[in-house]
């Protein structure tokens, strides 16, 4: 991207939007697949199959979320290499990320039995559902190398400011998955195993397509793959450093979500269901906010690589404008139409009433959490990952004591603690950002 492309506010907004909209649209396709899986299995004569698929899919959601660092770390490092105009580095970062994905995916398959047993034990489903979920998971784990490699490919393309690949790959994956769901379950009479095989085949189909797109992109890059960069452990130091901090940060975030769910479950099935409905509000908001955060990752990373701090500031300012506008619209929509949205998500009167009583927390959440989404993108692009990690654990240090002190408030206390966690995260990241803008991310900063 030439510097003049961000020379004016309108040009910057246009660039951010062109990067963000494919990501937003691809995010919207994700729940569509879940709905089809549920609909296909939910029409089988025995509900235990739906319970098994739901339990198994939840396990993989957590598992693969934990390895999301392969996407984020690859994006940040690739965008900076692009800014330095180092095609060879861009090329070799892809090779390293794919090899790392293959190694982790293979290890997950090799240790799948104890991992699946532990995960299902923690999820604590019924005996019948757990048995079916284990069968589903043993099939689904076979796609681990493909899923993780796809993360690396998506991160690599996003680092080069090509977000449309994300949309193409996810649309292909979900289309193949949906078609095979219908073929295997409805056409061939398979059950939860058919859903699992459909996902595995879809993941490898997406990987094949992704590698084809990669081969086309590599023809446009100079340089070559270097044996010492790919096969020497020391050459992975920067990638390991970035990914290790991202992994620890993700574990902290997973703990925060799991703790919230478990404390809600203690208060009964109705509260648990109401919280699950309200968390969908947060997911809906995240679909849009992630798009702008990912756009910021790509532009910020290249700006850091080029040491173009004017572009850096313009990208952050423009992404913040989009993000805050989106958060404001979400808050207003939840305030005016939250009860209607709850009614769309559940038909149970007691769950509707309970979720409605906690709706004010949803009105406040987007305006608080928006900064953590945006600044996560900025820090990923700048590969300032320790700061992201620290923000999670400082947030947890506020989250847990506030929950403990407000247990008498019941679920309102739990939502207060969760909102505080987001607020502290945002504040910590904002503090780091302002500090680095004065000391590292400005024209007078020393070259690193």
- pLDDT tens-place string over residues 409-431: 999 999 999 999 999 999 999 99
Of the pLDDT bands very low, low, confident and very high (cuts 50, 70, 90), residue 3 is: very low
pLDDT tens, residue by residue, 152-200: 999 999 999 999 998 899 889 988 988 998 898 888 888 778 888 999 9
Structure confidence by residue, pLDDT tens digits, 309-358: 988 999 999 999 999 999 999 999 999 999 998 888 777 788 889 989 99
Is the same domain home to 299 and 219? no
Residue 39 counted as domain residue: no
pLDDT on residue 193 = 84
User: What pLDDT is stored for residue 385 in this prediction?
Assistant: 92
Could you tell me if residue 37 is inside a domain? Answer: no
CA nearest to 71, candidates 192, 239, 280, 268 = 239
77 and 97 fall within a common domain:
yes
| pLDDT at 130 exceeding the cut of 50 | yes
How much is the pLDDT for 327? 96
Full residue range of the structural domain in which residue 413 is found: 1-28+237-448
Question: Do 182 and 215 belong together in one domain?
Answer: yes
Do 16 and 316 contact (CB within 8 A), yes or no?
no
Question: Cβ(95)–Cβ(103) under 8 Å?
Answer: no
Same domain? 146 vs 274:
no
Question: Average pLDDT of the chain?
Answer: 88
Q: Do both 225 and 258 map to the same domain?
A: no
Average confidence (pLDDT) over 286-306: 91
Give the pLDDT confidence score for residue 448 in this predicted structure: 45
Confidence of residue 442 (pLDDT cuts 50, 70, 90): confident
Where b means 16+ CB within 10 Å and e means fewer, 164-201 reads ebbbbbbebbbbbbbebbbebbeeeebbbbbbbbbbbb
Band (pLDDT 50/70/90 cuts) for residue 249 is: very high
Q: Is 90 exceeded by the pLDDT of residue 381?
A: yes
Same domain? For 241 and 224 the reply is no
Last residue of a domain, one of 231, 253, 285: 231
Q: 404 and 257: one domain?
A: yes
Q: Do 247 and 203 belong together in one domain?
A: no
Q: What is the mean pLDDT of residues 242-253?
A: 91
Residue 413: inside a domain, yes or no? yes
249 and 357 assigned to the same domain: yes
Tokens found for residue 247: 């992994």
Banded model confidence at residue 223, pLDDT cuts 50, 70, 90: confident
Q: Report how far Cα 413 is from the mean position of its chain's Cα atoms.
A: 27
Task: Give mean pLDDT, residues 61-90.
Answer: 89
Q: Is 299 found in the same domain as 162?
A: no
Examine the domain organization and report whether 317 and 394 are in the same domain: yes
* In a shared domain, residues 136 and 211: yes
Q: Is residue 319 part of a domain?
A: yes
Number of structural domains the chain divides into:
2
Residue range 101-126, pLDDT digits in tens: 999 999 999 999 999 988 888 776 67
| Stretch among 76-80, 238-242, 273-277 having the lowest mean pLDDT | 273-277
For 39, residues 6+ apart whose C-beta sits below 8 A from its C-beta are none
For 81-90, 190-199, 239-248, which range has the lowest pLDDT when averaged over its residues?
Answer: 190-199
Give the model's pLDDT for residue 364. 95
What pLDDT score was predicted for residue 105? 95
**Residue 23: inside a domain, yes or no?**
yes
């Amino acid at each position: 991207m030439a510097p003049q492309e961000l020379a004016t506010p309108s040009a910057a907004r246009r660039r951010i939007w062109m990067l963000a909209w494919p990501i937003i649209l691809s995010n919207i396709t994700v729940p569509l697949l879940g709905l089809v899986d549920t609909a296909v299995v939910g029409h089988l004569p025995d509900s235990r199959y739906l319970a098994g698929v739901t339990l198994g899919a939840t396990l993989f959601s957590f598992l693969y979320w934990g390895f999301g660092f392969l996407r984020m770390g690859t994006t940040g490092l690739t965008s900076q290499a692009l800014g330095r105009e180092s095609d060879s580095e861009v090329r070799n970062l892809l090779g390293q990320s794919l090899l790392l994905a293959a190694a982790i995916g293979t290890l997950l398959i090799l240790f799948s039995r104890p991992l699946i047993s532990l995960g299902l034990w923690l999820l604590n489903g019924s005996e019948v559902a757990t048995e079916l979920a284990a069968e589903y998971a043993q099939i689904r784990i076979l796609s681990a190398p493909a899923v993780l490699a796809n993360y690396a490919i998506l991160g690599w393309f996003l680092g080069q400011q090509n977000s449309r690949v994300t949309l193409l790959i996810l649309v292909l994956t979900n289309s193949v998955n949906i078609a095979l769901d219908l073929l295997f379950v409805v056409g061939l009479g398979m059950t939860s195993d058919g859903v699992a095989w459909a996902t595995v085949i879809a993941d490898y189909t997406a990987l094949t397509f992704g590698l084809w797109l990669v081969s086309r992109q590599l023809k446009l890059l100079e340089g070559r793959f270097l044996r010492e960069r790919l096969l020497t452990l020391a050459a992975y130091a920067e990638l390991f450093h970035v990914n290790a901090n991202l992994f620890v940060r993700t574990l902290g975030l997973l703990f925060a979500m799991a703790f919230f769910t478990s404390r809600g479950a203690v208060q009964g099935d109705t509260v648990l269901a109401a919280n699950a409905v309200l968390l969908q509000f947060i997911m809906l908001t995240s679909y849009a906010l992630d798009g702008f955060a990912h756009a910021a990752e790509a532009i910020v990373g290249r700006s850091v690589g080029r040491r173009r701090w004017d572009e850096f500031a313009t990208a952050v300012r423009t992404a913040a404008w989009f993000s805050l506008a989106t958060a404001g619209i979400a808050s207003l929509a939840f305030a005016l139409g939250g009860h209607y949205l709850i009614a769309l998500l559940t038909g149970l009167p007691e769950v509707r009433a309970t979720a409605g009583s906690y709706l004010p927390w949803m009105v406040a959440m987007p305006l608080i959490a928006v900064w953590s989404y945006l600044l996560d993108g900025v820090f990923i692009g700048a590969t300032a990952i320790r700061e992201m990690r620290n923000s999670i654990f400082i947030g947890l240090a506020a989250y847990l004591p506030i929950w403990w002190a407000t247990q008498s408030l019941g679920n309102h206390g739990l939502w207060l603690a969760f909102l505080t966690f987001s607020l502290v995260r945002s504040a910590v990241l904002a503090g780091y950002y302002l500090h680095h803008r004065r000391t590292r991310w400005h024209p007078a900063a020393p070259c690193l």
